[in-house]
Amino acid sequence: MKPLLINTFDVGGAANACIRLHKGLMNNNIDSKVLVKEASKNFEQVHQISITALQSSLRTKISKKSKNILGELNLYSEKPDPFISQRSFGLEMFSYPNSDYDLTASVLYKEATLVNLHWVARFLDYPSFFKKNTKPVVWTLHDQNPFSGGDHINEEFLGIDEKGLPIKRKLSKIERKVFKENLAIKKEALQPIDNLNLVVLSSWMQNEVNKSELFSNYNTTLIPNGLDSTIFKPSDKNFCRELLDIPLDKKVILFVSDLFSRQLKGFEFMKRAMLQIKNKDVLFLSVGGGFDEPLNNNNHKHIGFINDEKLMSVVYSAADAFVIPSLMDNLPNTVMESIMCGTPVIGFPVGGIKDMIKDNLNGHLTDEISVASLADGINDFLNKSDSFDTDAIRKDAVERYDLSIQVNAYINLYQSLIT
């Protein structure tokens, strides 16, 4: 069996999940390979696609290569897409269903026995791929873009009001028009396809697929992402705090984001909730990038971006609780990482987070999406923090999210498609 896993990048949440699966497959003697559009790291059997896979003439390929080189030298920049440039600030990524790449032209594709698409926006070309593909396809849905009109998450909210409540998003006429056009392209490309098998990470995504115009008729399997439980594991709290220069006598509330400016991640809700916590024995600890608004709080410490899993495991172990204020999420890696380390989680009742948090066992789901509800959730935790059992949280996480469970489920799915 030679599965080819395809992801646009080798960094990011979806890429991390894809490459963890890839490593797990290789550890089970599966001849797995990963194809990416852009490779920035040196992972084993992760390959960047060749320029020969571009769907264009030689002149166009040379032109594109030249533009890439000039772009790296800051001597050339693409004109911004007029639709994307007028979208509301703070919205998540938008992607069209077209791409310059023909994935079926890759040598790795030709050698594979089946294809497992992951996060493939701006890499997969719907019309050409599904027309030319001759292999069984598994599509792991990390977000909603594969079956949406272009949004990666169908964002219900955009912004926060003076009362600390989320503001409902309103679609513009041009958004509705572009969404409809993109759905038509995807629908036409998928119409004759019967060898597509979907993997969803959460029951929320399963429900979204069932409601979708494009994917509701395809076979769907629920396989949550997994983690290496030998990396993410509880460590001595005092040792971890000394390592990170964190006071031993504080209740540490952790929050993490790859980019704090992303509205979907709810940092504004977290920031306002912090101001409502009057307990002087609390230290808020933040990890991530794009933190350009230092908080004038003596009870806040920011330790920047961390790209090392073992060090992140130390951070989770140093915390008493992890807060995820996301307004929507599929199956966030950060929640999984936290509970693997035995650290309880506080979050809004949205998306796949509802699958992950079990009230009073491994954390707390708030009553609603609001600053007040988030602050109440943090205060409730502080009042009963001793009731959470690190070992019980860890045990439950391993039973549900150990990498071996995910890998075995994929192997079984792959085998069912090629026999």
Contacts of 105 (CB under 8 A, 6+ apart): 52, 53, 55
pLDDT of 73 above 60: no
259, 288 contact by CB (below 8 A): yes
State the maximum Cα–Cα separation within the chain, in Å, rounded to a whole number. 67
Contacts of 67 (CB under 8 A, 6+ apart): 76, 78
pLDDT of 65 above 60: no
In the chain, the percentage of residues whose pLDDT exceeds 90 is 81
pLDDT value at residue 400: 98
In the chain, the percentage of residues whose pLDDT exceeds 70 is 93
pLDDT (tens digit per residue) in 321-357: 999 999 999 999 999 999 999 999 999 999 999 999 9
pLDDT of 370 above 90: yes
pLDDT of 69 above 70: no
38, 417 contact by CB (below 8 A): no
CA distance 117 to 359: 34
For residue 47, how far is the Cα from the chain centroid? 21
Task: Give a three-class secondary structure readout of the chain.
Answer: CCEEEEEEECCCHHHHHHHHHHHHHHHCCCCCEEEEEECCCCCCCEEECCHHHECCCHHHHHHHHHHHHHHHCCCCCCCCCHHHHCCCCCCCCECCCCCCECHHHCHHHHHCCEEEECCCCCCCCHHHHHHHCCCCEEEEECCCHHHCCCECCCCCEEEECCCCCEEECCCCHHHHHHHHHHHHHHHHHHCCCCCEEEEECCHHHHHHHHHCCCCCCCEEEECCCCECCCCCCCCCHHHHHHHHCCCCCCEEEEEEECCCCCHHHCHHHHHHHHHHCCCCCEEEEEEECCCCCCCCCCCEEECCCCCCHHHHHHHHHHCCEEEECCCCCCCCHHHHHHHHCCCCEEECCCCCHHHHCCECCCEEECCCCCHHHHHHHHHHHHHHHHHCCHHHHHHHHHHHHEHHHHHHHHHHHHHHHHC
Q: What tokens does 390 get?
A: 């690190």
CA distance 1 to 228: 23
pLDDT (tens digit per residue) in 247-267: 999 999 999 988 888 899 999
Quick one: which of 337, 383, 379 has its CA closest to 356? 337
Q: What angle do CA 241, 247, 249 make, to 5 degrees?
A: 110
Quick one: which of 93, 90, 116 has its CA closest to 33? 116
Contacts of 241 (CB under 8 A, 6+ apart): 247, 248, 252, 318
CA distance 52 to 37: 12
pLDDT value at residue 56: 58
For the chain, list the domains and their CATH numbers: 3-226+403-418 (3.40.50.2000), 237-401 (3.40.50.2000)
For 374, list phi and psi in degrees, rounded to 5: -65, -45
Q: What tokens does 75 get?
A: 């001597």
pLDDT of 388 above 80: yes
pLDDT (tens digit per residue) in 189-211: 999 898 899 999 999 999 999 99
pLDDT of 363 above 60: yes
Average pLDDT, stretch 152-157?
Answer: 95
